[in-house]
Amino acid sequence: MPVAIQVTNVPVEIDNDKCIADKGCRTCIDVCPLDVLCINEDTGKAYMKYDECWYCMPCEVDCPTNAVKVSIPYLLR
Ligand code: SF4
Ligand code: SF4
């Protein structure tokens, strides 16, 4: 039987092609009550720096370009 190796992903993914943080947007970072989103200095885009999330959703809802995708765990839906 194959060993299940699960690559753990952070719950919030940001589409670098859509994110306009390099044009000054900080909306998701500003609205997150946990301060887990940051700017990646290399890419100039937002990303999830800390793997912690309340699944409260304003980052996804308020992003002007729909770049944020929050993956809510099945048991919380
Ligand atoms: S709100 Fe959207 S566009 Fe703005 S920094 Fe966050 S992910 Fe990028
Ligand atoms: S869902 Fe809430 S806690 Fe999670 S990253 Fe977005 S704003 Fe922050």
Is the CB–ligand 2 distance for residue 14 below 6 Å? no
Å from CA of 15 to ligand 1 middle: 9
pLDDT at 47: 95
C-alpha span between 25 and 28 (Å, rounded): 8
pLDDT at 6: 55
Q: What is the mean pLDDT of each run of 10 residues along the chain (77 residues)?
A: 68 96 98 97 95 96 98 87
C-alpha span between 33 and 45 (Å, rounded): 19
pLDDT at 5: 63
C-alpha span between 37 and 68 (Å, rounded): 11
pLDDT at 1: 77
Domains annotated for the chain, with CATH where assigned, are 16-71 (3.30.70.20)
Nearest residue (CA) to ligand 2, atom 8: 32
pLDDT at 75: 86
